[in-house]
Structure 1
Amino acid sequence: MHRFFKSDFFNFEALRLLSFTPHEGGEVSEFLEAVGRIKDRDFESWYTTWIAETEKAEALAVEAERAGNRAAARRAFFRASNYQRAAQFMLNGRSGDARILSDSENAISNFWRAAVLLDSSITKLEIPYEKDIKLPAYLHIPHPSKRLPGKLPLLVNTVGGDATQEEITYIFPMAALELGYAVLTFEGPGQGMVLRRHNLPMRPDWEVVVGKVLDFALEYVEACPDLKKLIDTDRIAIAGSSVGGYLSLRGASDRRIKACISVDPFYCMFDLLKGRMPGFLIDAFSAGGFAADSTWDSFLGLLKWLDTQTQWESDLSFWFLGVDNAADMFRAMMRFTFETADGAGFLHRVKCPVFVTGARYGLYSEPEVSTNRIYEDLVNVPEGSKLKWIAEDAGQGGLQSKVGSFQILTQKAFAFLDKSLGIERRITLAA
């Protein structure tokens, strides 16, 4: 496959952004000009380049808006939003950088200016979580011309470890709206604006978060007569990618979830270190007593000095896990697992249909220790109700989170959801 950068990290993130072009999240010429100016492994170069592209797209959006060109304004505002989201992405490990919050807020503003120009409808929601903290969410309803007969199924789309609900809109929600699904996206602890505004760390028992989201969603629909007539609360599915794939499986243990799409998840987050640290050191930490906590800080510091990707990943992990040293990061990662103290495993609690995927060229986890193990542990999901897809070709879904192959992913995922939720559809041509 063609490469834009020598480093795997920058090349992957560039391809990730390019993947949103079919859904108005980018323009090919703008992308090519930008990657031609970015210095590989240089975070500031990445940031300043995408901010420059943001400003260009914003100017085009305002110009189209003034001219009354709805479609052009929408596309340009979406691009401006996505470019600015991508710009601050490389700053994520440095949570004290004021640009992270301000750029994120502006990216959301541009996203909203675009989203209200879609044919589908979108509503901003705030989901009560803990104390005064509310989780930001969007409820998408398809245009009447795209709706299915009867009530609409609802897809709950959870964010992952480094994405935002604005970014994931270009994947499952856009495809879902074309197919007549309603969609609820949200950001939980350790994600998006919840992390940026409140520094609230992610929690491994994501089923608790999903439970609160479902409680709110059902009450919200019940309280709105139009939505009560429109949304089928007995047909709710959940989806997520990478870290979000793990989180979606945790959420799928809730009996109100009737189907789950888990894209390239891990079985245990601590396994992700296997591509970053020598195996004997991972085993030593797992066994305990090998070295003082400060020793692990020194070792991680060396790895960060040697590798840009490790630097970014570890800084981000400190932030969204709510820790300040390497040993605590490792311990926190160990808690994000489907293993349980009683040996039964968490996944035995999942009983709804599950589509789980893997990627041969994933950045983090080999399918043999993630996808296959998850599939085998879904012991209470009948064989005919669970599906495994391990993509072997980079151009056909073999990259992490199916980057570069989102349309292939959504085609397969919604075929599974349609079957699991009893939806039949056919193509009819106008006479």
Structure 2
Amino acid sequence: MAKTPTIFFRDDVFDDQFARTLAAVYAGASDLGEAFSAARAIGAHATPDKWYGGWLALARNVEASASAAAADGHSVTARGAYLRAAEYYRQAFFFIRHDLDDPRAQDAYADHVRTFAAAAPNLGVAFGEAVEIPYEGTTLHGWFFSPDDSGEVRPTVISPDGYDSTAEDGLAYVIGALERGYNVLTFDGPGQGRALYRDRLFMRPDFEAVLTPVVDWLLTRSTVDASKLVLFGRSFAGYLAPRAAAFEHRIAALVCDPPDPNLGLHIPAVAGSLAAPTIELEMRLSAEKREFFGARMATHGLTDVAEYFTTLREFDMTPVAGQVACPTLLVECEGDPLSSTGGADALAAAMTAPTTRITLTAESGAGGHCGGLGQKVWDGAVYDWLDGVLKGESAA
């Protein structure tokens, strides 16, 4: 699998995250000049602490400019600056998530949510409303976006978070839907966003138990076309979405990028009982490894590597993949490390619903995780297919 070219940071983990902020430009949620300024301040050889400090400094400066613009009555400037500050606060806490009680992470997450809300409801690219979705005696936090405030009934994209995203930064990945006249719902499920950082609700493999209450709530909204609900599964949601769609049959179409039906296949290929001790040693020797695995374990409420690997094996939806009933698009992007375990092959082989597969190449500009910097290329491929499916045309 071809490796995506380095943008700035020597370590791929940091560079891939930097690409997320650059791609947020499509939503007006970052600025290239600001982003590269932060990168230069951090330096090409990033560490979690340098990353936190560099992005936090930028976020605070941009928020200060937003507040000044708002005080002077410059609403467009203020809205844009608040939206960008939200993205920079998200980056600030990204590599310190292994400890959910770290006050730096807690504060930066709260600032991320607060500044995003300060930019709403008119975000420039959409109208956004913070929503609370009833779920098992509590509520899940989300955002309902519309292309305008006309009240028109529209098809609606449901876009759950991934392993490390939030309902707020989900906006950057659904601009194509809003441009084409769809509503969008992003939300923090267990193990994600507010559900994790504040409420300590942890990731669960039976995601249908999360999605069905979300769909129930969504269908109470007058602007949602009940016959045209679309479920997106990007990044970690490449497992969550198809798992839920196997049981929740009010979904009209499913998109997975990358398809990731069996997370147990991501367990490091170290022989048997040596896997957990090997990773534990790497975590002791490397702050980056400690964060990589620690943040993932935290989403499951775990601190033990062996227990984490055991839990990952529970996230296998291939036995129920044949129950998915809606047309499905499986997207693979060249250079996406999550595509290396053959998830698309496994899911396609297990499904009986009409299934289409596409590959987006690095040459096209959409190489890397979930299309990387090529979000417009991704949008063209995915929404052209989706438009046809919702019009009743062939899904193949």
TM-score between the two structures when normalised by the length of structure 2: 0.92
Q: 1:266 to 1:8 in 2, by over 3 A?
A: same
1:324-356 per-position Cα deviation (integer Å, ceiling 9, x unaligned): 2111100110011123xxxxx211010101111
What's the counterpart of residue 9 of structure 1?
13
- 2: CA distance between counterparts of 1:78 and 1:317? 27
Partner SS, residue 170 of structure 1: helix
Map 1:409-420 onto structure 2 (within 5 A).
Answer: 409-420=378-389
The aligned amino acid for 2:62 is: A
The aligned amino acid for 1:159 is: D
What's the counterpart of residue 264 of structure 1?
258
Q: 1:124 is matched with which residue: 126, 130, 153?
A: 130
1:188-217 per-position Cα deviation (integer Å, ceiling 9, x unaligned): 100011000122110011111101111122
CA RMSD, aligned part only? 2.1
- 1: CA distance between counterparts of 2:180 and 2:392? 10
Pick which of 181-190 and 117-126 moved more. 117-126
- 1: CA distance between counterparts of 2:348 and 2:29? 33
Q: CA deviation at 1:306?
A: 4.8
Q: Do the aligned partners of 2:23 and 2:172 also contact (CA within 8 Å) in 1? A: no
What's the counterpart of residue 100 of structure 2?
95
Q: Do the aligned partners of 2:294 and 2:303 also contact (CA within 8 Å) in 1? A: no
Q: 1:95 to 1:304 in 2, by over 3 A?
A: same
Q: Do the aligned partners of 1:70 and 1:117 also contact (CA within 8 Å) in 2? A: no
The aligned amino acid for 2:215 is: L
Q: 1:236 to 1:79 in 2, by over 3 A?
A: same
What's the counterpart of residue 352 of structure 1?
326
- 2: CA distance between counterparts of 1:306 and 1:415? 47
Partner SS, residue 198 of structure 1: coil
The aligned amino acid for 1:32 is: F
Q: Report the structure number with the largest CA radius of gyration.
A: 1
What's the counterpart of residue 201 of structure 2?
200
Map 1:12-411 onto structure 2 (within 5 A).
Answer: 12-39=16-43, 40-118=45-123, 120-131=126-137, 133-143=138-148, 151-172=153-174, 174-218=175-219, 220-221=220-221, 227=222, 230-253=223-246, 254-273=248-267, 277=268, 279-281=269-271, 284=272, 291=273, 297-339=276-318, 345-366=319-340, 369-379=342-352, 381-382=353-354, 386-393=355-362, 396-411=365-380
- 1: CA distance between counterparts of 2:171 and 2:309? 31
- 2: CA distance between counterparts of 1:359 and 1:87? 27
Q: Do the aligned partners of 1:153 and 1:182 also contact (CA within 8 Å) in 2? A: yes
Q: Do the aligned partners of 1:25 and 1:75 also contact (CA within 8 Å) in 2? A: yes
Q: CA deviation at 1:397?
A: 2.1
Q: 1:43 to 1:356 in 2, by over 3 A?
A: same
Q: CA deviation at 1:394?
A: 6.5
Q: Identity across aligned pairs (percent)?
A: 26
- 2: CA distance between counterparts of 1:23 and 1:156? 18
Q: CA deviation at 1:115?
A: 2.4
Q: 1:256 to 1:192 in 2, by over 3 A?
A: same
Q: Which runs of 5+ in 1 are unaligned?
A: 222-226, 285-290, 340-344, 425-431
Q: Which runs of 5+ in 2 are unaligned?
A: none
